[in-house]
Structure 1
Amino acid sequence: MYYFGTNLDERFSVPEFWPKPEQANKVPLEKDEIHAELQRLRARRLYLRERRLEQEARQQPPPPPSGDDK
């Protein structure tokens, strides 16, 4: 497709296509920021692991009672 004209930016631009800088991810550069980000990721990972283990425990049927009552 070829288009010749002076209003290319107005005609073919998509408003708000790119995120604003405050909405984008920022790479931590300082040591404290890196440490805080690692703590946040670790806490999130442990929270999701705990939820997954609870869900798996709820889905598993209880073990059958054994007949070894002495």
Structure 2
Amino acid sequence: MYVMFPIGIMFYFGTNLDARFAVPDFWPKSEQANRVPLEKDEIHAELQRLRARRLYLRDRRLEAEAAQRARDDTNNGDGNGNGEA
């Protein structure tokens, strides 16, 4: 019993291990993976891209908040802003 159990485990998991447990295309290809910029110009370009994205998302958030505020003001109707009738 003590000898056959490890042999059975090795036989079960060891015969066609790659065919049963390998996941195709598990690791991303180099063009799909993130690449850390190393040169000064690349770092500057990446910072500019991140800054532009942050400002774009900030503008969208502020526009949405302004639209929500305007919608809330028109729904209140009394103009005092506390929502009580």
TM range (shorter): 0.7 to 0.9
Is 1:45 equivalent to 2:66 in the alignment?
Answer: no
CA-based RMSD: 1.9
Q: 54, 59, 63: which is aligned to 1:54? A: 63
Aligned residues: 64
Pairwise CA distance, 1:6: 3.4
TM-score (norm 1): 0.80
Pairwise CA distance, 1:19: 1.1
* Cα deviations by residue, 1:14-61 (Å, 9 ceiling, x for unpaired): 111111111000000000000000000000000000000000000013
Unmatched tracts of structure 1, length 5 or more? 66-70
Is 1:16 equivalent to 2:25 in the alignment?
Answer: yes
Moved more, 49-58 or 7-16: 7-16
Q: Identity of paired residues, percent?
A: 77
TM-score (norm 2): 0.67
Larger RCO (CA under 8 A, 6+ residues apart): 1
Larger Rg: 2
